[in-house]
Amino acid sequence: MAKRRSNGGTGGAAGEAGIAEQQVSESRTDRLRIRAAWMYFIEQMTQNEIAEVLGVGRVTIVRMLAEARARNEIKIAIESELSELVRLERALEKTFGIQQAFVAPLSKPEADPIPAISAKTGAYLSEAMKSSMRVGVGWGRTLFSTLSFITPKSLSDFKVISLLGGVGVARQINPAEFAWRFAQTFQGEGYLIPAPAVVDSVETKIALIDRCGLQDIFRMTDDLDAVLLSIGGIRSATTFYRGGYLKEAQREELIARGSVGDLLFHPFDIDGQIVDHPINGVVMSVDVERLRRAPLRILTSGGPEKIEALLGAMSLIAPTVLITDEESARRVLELHAAREGRQ
C-alpha cells in the first residue's frame, strides 16, 4: 500500500495534530467565554462570583466578557449555538446543586446519545485526571465508549480501582476490561475485584471478602479522590439485564418495588433510595456510601430510557459533575419540575 506523503515530510502529521489540538482548545475557550457571558448578563452574577464558579481569575473574566462583546455575541440576548446548552447546564447545576454540568449537543432528538456523551466525557477526563489520584470506576457501554475520546498521557502514582466484580466474564464491555484499559490510558495501576459481579449467596459474598483477600480492594475505596460512574435504566435492555446478571422475574420484582435504575447493580428508586431486594446481598460491588465520600463524583449517562434513573441518581450519588445529552437534560429537568409541582 502506498503511503500518502505530506508536503512537510514528517512534519505533516505533527502539523495536523497541532491544528486539531488548537481547534479543541479554541472550542473549550469559546464554551468558557459563553458561560461567563451567560452568568454575567443573564444571571446577573458579579465578576468575582463568576470567577469562583469557573475556577479562573477575575482578570480572565473581564477579558472574556470584553471579547464576547467584540465578537457581537452580546446583544439583547447571547447569540451563539452554545447558549441553549449553557442554559441547560446552568439549570442542572442550580436545580441539583451540581458543581459543573456538561451537556452534549445531538444532531436530532432521536439520535443515539452515547457517542455525544462519550466524546464530552472523554474531553473532560483528559483534563480532570491528575497524578497521584485514586479513581474508582464503574462500567457500561457509555463509559467503555469514552476510551477512544480520552487523550492518553502518563500520570505518576495514578491508581484505578474497579468498583464492581466481573473478572471472569469474557465480554468486551465488562468491569474488569474498562478499569484496566482506563488505567492503561494514563499509564497507571489497575486494581480489580477478582470475583463474579453477582454471587450465589450472601455467605459466598462474605467469604470472598473476609477470607479471600478482597477486603484489601474494598478498603482502597474508603478514600477515593474521584469516582467515574454511569447508571442503567430498569425498563431497558441495559448492561445489567442484557448481560444475564438479572433474571426477568427479578427485574419485574424490582419494578414493582419502585426501582427505576441501578448503580453498580444496586437498584434505586426515583427519590434516590436503594430498593430493598435480595440482589443487594449478592452483588460484588462497592456500596454507595463509600462512593459518596469521594470529593469528585462524575456521573455520565443519558438516553430516553434513563430519565427517571437520572433524576433518582441526583439524590443517590449527588454528583459533583454531570455529563449528559441535551434531550436527557431537558427531560430530567421537566420531570423534576413536574414532580415538584405535584408536591
Tell me: do 34 and 169 sit in the same domain.
no
Tell me: do 121 and 212 sit in the same domain.
yes
pLDDT in tens, 106-115: 888 888 999 9
Q: How far is CA 158 from CA 141, 172, 267, in A?
A: 24, 24, 30
Cell of 243: 448481560
Tell me: do 158 and 296 sit in the same domain.
yes
Q: What's the gap between Cα 166 and its chain centre?
A: 21
Domain extent at residue 43: 11-78
Determine the Cα–Cα distance for residues 102 and 85; give it in Å rounded to an integer.
8
pLDDT in tens, 183-193: 999 999 999 99
Residue 45: CATH number of its domain = 1.10.10.60
Kindly report the average pLDDT of the chain as a whole number: 86
Tell me: do 168 and 294 sit in the same domain.
yes
pLDDT of the residue at 242? 52
Asked whether residue 77 carries a pLDDT value surpassing 70, the answer given is no
The pairing of strands 266-269 and 259-263 is antiparallel
Tell me: do 18 and 114 sit in the same domain.
no
Tell me: do 54 and 191 sit in the same domain.
no
Determine the Cα–Cα distance for residues 98 and 315; give it in Å rounded to an integer.
11
Tell me: do 26 and 103 sit in the same domain.
no
Residue 194: CATH number of its domain = 3.40.50.1360
3-state class (DSSP) for residue 70: helix
Q: Is the residue at 1 inside a domain?
A: no
Q: Is the residue at 15 inside a domain?
A: yes
Q: Report how many domains make up the chain.
A: 2
Tell me: do 66 and 142 sit in the same domain.
no
Residue 63 backbone phi and psi in degrees, to 5 = -65, -40
